[in-house]
């Protein structure tokens, strides 16, 4: 049976059970199935709570139900401390969600990372995103000691070794390998821009099978990047998912342009927000329009919607964009006993 014959909305016998692994697939997960079936995928991210309450995770995830194919659980984003990505993924998996485990090299050495990788796979997690991680000086624990034993490229190589060679980095054999769909990140907008496609090639060569990008607001630069990626054959080797952002105001857009490296927001977008009677609504319209443009670019396999502290608008943006067509991503059935059910 080919991947295009599969109903990507089906789950196992019980919520969270792994799906049967298809021929040519590396994981048991739904996210890989969606991409390999040729669908335009939509992902988003959940901000882990400053809490030990699992219901907080599920209430946040429920806002994305029926709109996204996978949910990134951020790992100390911005070097700020929250519930761990591994714990968030375990909570989401038990209801059948398709979470993406983020692993930041900043905080753990290779022993800990390999242990967490096995643990995540044992808990049913099927997707991982390899990140170097923000410097601790940017966060709320600047006195913390950074590790950086690995970087994003060597991390992907490590997980690929564990999965495909069935060994630890030490060479010691694994009894059962972690069947994880491996991803990495890219920022096409950081100078020198002409070198970004070469960096993408290195990440794919290291083992990345899908790529999520940072925010995209500058379409001409993205189109040039994708042209270079196609010329190098990279779009045939990995699924490229482009990041989009929901801008609530011109003030926020100006701040991001001045303070977030690699984020260029064109003047015309800022003018639209300044002139809008309802800036938050205009920001959602802009995000939806960018998603529509992304779907028309050859080699773009999906959109990663980032809406920090505006998670409630992700569904609205996806619906406005129309990029899913008549496809509705899987979501858990709501019952009175479901943890995290929102009325």
**72 and 81 Cβ atoms separated by less than 8 Å:** no
C-alpha span between 35 and 136 (Å, rounded)? 34
**Is 259 or 128 the better-scoring residue by pLDDT?**
128
pLDDT of residue 22: 93
User: For the chain, what is the mean pLDDT?
Assistant: 90
Mean pLDDT of 67-84: 86
- Give the pLDDT score at 338: 45
Note the pLDDT tens digit of each residue in 167-222.
999 999 999 999 999 999 999 998 889 999 999 999 999 999 999 999 999 999 99
Q: 340 pLDDT band (50/70/90 cuts)?
A: very low
**Cα–Cα dist 166/175, whole Å:** 8
Query: Could you tell me the domains of the chain?
Result: 26-247+291-321 (3.20.20.220)
pLDDT tens-digit readout, 11-36: 444 445 678 999 999 999 999 999 99
Q: What are phi and psi of 3, to 5 degrees?
A: -65, -30
pLDDT in tens, 95-123: 999 999 999 999 999 999 999 999 999 99
For 322, other C-beta atoms within 10 Å of its C-beta total: 12
Q: Which residue has the tokens 């790529």?
A: 211
- What is the Cα–Cα distance from 28 to 7, expressed in whole angstroms? 14
Helix, strand, coil shares, percent, the chain, to 5: 40, 15, 45
């Amino acid at each position: 049976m080919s991947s295009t014959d599969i109903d990507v909305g089906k789950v196992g016998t019980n919520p969270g059970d792994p799906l049967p692994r298809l021929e040519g697939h590396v994981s048991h997960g739904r996210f890989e199935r969606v991409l390999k079936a040729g669908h335009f995928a939509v992902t988003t991210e959940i901000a882990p709570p400053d809490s030990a309450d699992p219901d907080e995770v599920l209430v946040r995830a429920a806002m994305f139900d029926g709109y996204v194919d996978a949910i990134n659980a951020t790992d100390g984003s911005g070097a700020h401390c929250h519930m761990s990505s591994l714990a968030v993924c375990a909570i989401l998996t038990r209801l059948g969600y398709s979470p993406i485990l983020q692993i930041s090299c900043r905080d753990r050495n290779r022993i800990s990372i390999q242990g967490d990788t096995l643990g995540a796979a044992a808990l049913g997690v099927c997707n991982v995103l390899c990140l170097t991680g923000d410097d601790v000086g940017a966060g709320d624990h600047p006195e913390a000691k950074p590790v950086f034993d690995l970087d994003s490229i060597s991390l992907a190589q490590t997980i690929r070794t564990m999965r495909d060679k069935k060994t630890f980095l030490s060479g010691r054999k694994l009894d059962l390998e972690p069947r994880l769909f491996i991803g990495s990140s890219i920022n096409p907008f950081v100078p020198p821009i002409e070198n970004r496609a070469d960096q993408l090639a290195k990440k794919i060569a290291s083992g990345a099978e899908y790529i999520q990008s940072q925010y995209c607001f500058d379409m001409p630069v993205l189109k040039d990047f994708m042209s270079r990626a196609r010329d190098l054959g990279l779009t045939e080797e990995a699924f490229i998912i482009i990041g989009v952002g929901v801008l609530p105001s011109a003030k926020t857009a100006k701040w991001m342009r001045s303070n977030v490296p690699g984020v260029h927001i064109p003047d015309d977008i800022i003018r639209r927000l300044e002139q809008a009677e309802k800036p938050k609504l205009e920001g959602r319209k802009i995000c939806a329009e960018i998603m529509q443009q992304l779907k028309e670019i050859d080699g773009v396999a999906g959109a990663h919607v980032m809406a920090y502290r505006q998670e409630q608008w992700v569904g609205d943006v996806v619906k406005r964009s129309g990029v899913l067509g008549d496809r509705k991503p899987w979501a858990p059935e709501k019952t009175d006993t479901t943890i995290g059910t929102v009325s």
